[in-house]
Protein backbone atom coordinates (compact mmCIF):
# COMPACT_ATOMS: atom_id res chain seq x y z
CA UNK A 1 0.00 0.00 0.00
CA UNK A 2 1.30 3.47 -0.88
CA UNK A 3 2.13 5.93 1.86
CA UNK A 4 -0.18 8.91 1.95
CA UNK A 5 0.03 12.03 4.08
CA UNK A 6 -3.17 13.78 5.09
CA UNK A 7 -5.66 11.07 4.21
CA UNK A 8 -8.51 11.34 1.74
CA UNK A 9 -8.23 14.42 -0.48
CA UNK A 10 -11.90 15.18 0.18
CA UNK A 11 -12.51 14.43 3.88
CA UNK A 12 -8.89 14.12 5.16
CA UNK A 13 -9.67 10.91 7.06
CA UNK A 14 -6.74 8.49 6.86
CA UNK A 15 -8.84 5.39 7.53
CA UNK A 16 -10.56 3.20 4.99
CA UNK A 17 -13.26 0.62 5.56
CA UNK A 18 -14.40 -2.45 3.66
CA UNK A 19 -17.59 -0.63 2.61
CA UNK A 20 -15.75 2.65 1.86
CA UNK A 21 -12.08 1.95 1.07
CA UNK A 22 -9.38 4.46 0.27
CA UNK A 23 -8.50 4.35 -3.41
CA UNK A 24 -5.12 5.61 -4.65
CA UNK A 25 -4.53 7.12 -8.09
CA UNK A 26 -1.95 5.22 -10.15
CA UNK A 27 -1.16 8.26 -12.31
CA UNK A 28 2.53 9.17 -12.68
CA UNK A 29 3.43 11.52 -9.83
CA UNK A 30 -0.18 11.81 -8.66
CA UNK A 31 -0.80 11.80 -4.92
CA UNK A 32 -4.61 11.65 -4.99
CA UNK A 33 -6.18 9.28 -2.50
CA UNK A 34 -9.92 9.29 -1.92
CA UNK A 35 -12.61 7.26 -0.24
CA UNK A 36 -14.91 5.52 -2.67
CA UNK A 37 -17.93 7.51 -1.41
CA UNK A 38 -16.07 10.84 -1.16
CA UNK A 39 -15.15 10.81 -4.87
CA UNK A 40 -18.19 9.04 -6.28
CA UNK A 41 -16.48 5.84 -7.36
CA UNK A 42 -19.35 3.49 -8.19
CA UNK A 43 -17.25 0.32 -8.17
CA UNK A 44 -13.76 0.01 -6.71
CA UNK A 45 -11.43 -1.28 -9.42
CA UNK A 46 -9.43 -4.46 -8.93
CA UNK A 47 -6.55 -3.14 -11.04
CA UNK A 48 -5.04 0.30 -11.59
CA UNK A 49 -7.26 3.31 -10.94
CA UNK A 50 -6.79 6.86 -12.21
CA UNK A 51 -8.40 10.02 -10.85
CA UNK A 52 -10.32 12.09 -13.39
CA UNK A 53 -7.40 14.50 -13.86
CA UNK A 54 -4.95 11.69 -14.70
CA UNK A 55 -7.58 9.85 -16.72
CA UNK A 56 -8.11 12.93 -18.90
CA UNK A 57 -4.40 13.20 -19.78
CA UNK A 58 -4.98 16.94 -20.09
CA UNK A 59 -1.83 18.96 -19.61
CA UNK A 60 -1.38 19.60 -15.89
CA UNK A 61 -0.72 23.30 -16.55
CA UNK A 62 -4.26 23.68 -17.88
CA UNK A 63 -5.97 21.93 -14.96
CA UNK A 64 -6.90 24.12 -12.01
CA UNK A 65 -9.91 24.43 -9.75
CA UNK A 66 -12.44 27.03 -10.88
CA UNK A 67 -13.37 27.69 -7.24
CA UNK A 68 -9.95 28.09 -5.60
CA UNK A 69 -6.37 28.75 -6.74
CA UNK A 70 -5.09 25.21 -6.10
CA UNK A 71 -4.25 22.68 -8.83
CA UNK A 72 -3.60 19.50 -6.84
CA UNK A 73 -6.18 17.29 -5.20
CA UNK A 74 -9.31 15.38 -6.09
CA UNK A 75 -10.73 17.22 -9.11
CA UNK A 76 -13.73 16.48 -11.32
CA UNK A 77 -15.02 18.07 -14.51
CA UNK A 78 -17.45 20.95 -14.35
CA UNK A 79 -20.47 21.52 -16.56
CA UNK A 80 -18.46 24.15 -18.45
CA UNK A 81 -15.61 21.74 -19.27
CA UNK A 82 -13.29 23.05 -16.57
CA UNK A 83 -12.28 21.49 -13.26
CA UNK A 84 -13.22 21.84 -9.59
CA UNK A 85 -12.21 20.07 -6.40
CA UNK A 86 -14.90 17.86 -4.93
CA UNK A 87 -14.17 19.40 -1.52
CA UNK A 88 -14.66 22.94 -2.90
CA UNK A 89 -17.94 21.87 -4.49
CA UNK A 90 -19.15 20.47 -1.18
CA UNK A 91 -18.37 23.69 0.72
CA UNK A 92 -20.15 26.08 -1.64
CA UNK A 93 -23.93 25.88 -1.24
CA UNK A 94 -24.79 26.97 -4.79
CA UNK A 95 -22.73 24.17 -6.37
CA UNK A 96 -24.57 21.04 -7.46
CA UNK A 97 -23.61 17.63 -8.81
CA UNK A 98 -25.44 16.56 -11.97
CA UNK A 99 -25.20 12.96 -10.76
CA UNK A 100 -25.03 12.65 -6.98
CA UNK A 101 -23.85 9.03 -7.13
CA UNK A 102 -20.80 9.73 -9.31
CA UNK A 103 -20.48 13.36 -8.13
CA UNK A 104 -19.99 14.65 -11.66
CA UNK A 105 -20.12 16.82 -13.51
CA UNK A 106 -19.94 19.64 -10.99
CA UNK A 107 -22.51 22.29 -11.88
CA UNK A 108 -21.27 25.84 -11.34
CA UNK A 109 -23.93 27.87 -13.15
CA UNK A 110 -25.61 28.96 -9.90
CA UNK A 111 -22.41 30.14 -8.19
CA UNK A 112 -22.22 33.93 -7.81
CA UNK A 113 -19.20 35.45 -9.55
CA UNK A 114 -17.80 36.85 -6.29
CA UNK A 115 -17.15 33.30 -5.06
CA UNK A 116 -14.83 32.40 -7.93
CA UNK A 117 -11.06 32.12 -7.40
CA UNK A 118 -11.19 32.75 -3.68
CA UNK A 119 -9.36 30.59 -1.20
CA UNK A 120 -11.93 28.63 0.72
CA UNK A 121 -11.38 29.02 4.47
CA UNK A 122 -11.62 25.25 5.03
CA UNK A 123 -9.88 24.13 1.83
CA UNK A 124 -8.25 20.76 2.47
CA UNK A 125 -6.26 20.72 -0.75
CA UNK A 126 -2.65 20.06 0.11
CA UNK A 127 -0.01 21.96 -1.79
CA UNK A 128 3.41 20.38 -2.42
Q: For position 67, what pLDDT does the model report? A: 87
Residue 86 lies in a domain: yes
Average pLDDT rounded to a whole number, residues 6-31? 92
Residue 124 lies in a domain: no
Q: How many domains does the chain have?
A: 1
Of 60-74, 83-97, 105-119, highest mean pLDDT: 83-97
Angle at alpha carbon of residue 45, lines to 39 and 51, rounded to 5°:
40
Domain that holds residue 31: 22-115
Residue 121 lies in a domain: no
Nearest to 36 by CA among 83, 1, 86: 86
pLDDT digits (tens, 9 = 90+) for 31-74: 899 999 999 999 999 999 999 999 998 887 788 998 888 888 99
For the chain, the average pLDDT equals 86
CA distances from 42 to 45, 72, 85, 113 (A): 9, 22, 18, 32
Amino acid sequence: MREMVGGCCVCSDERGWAENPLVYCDGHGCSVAVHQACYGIVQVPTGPWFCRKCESQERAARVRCELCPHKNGALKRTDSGGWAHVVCALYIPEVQFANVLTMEPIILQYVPHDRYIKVLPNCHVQQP
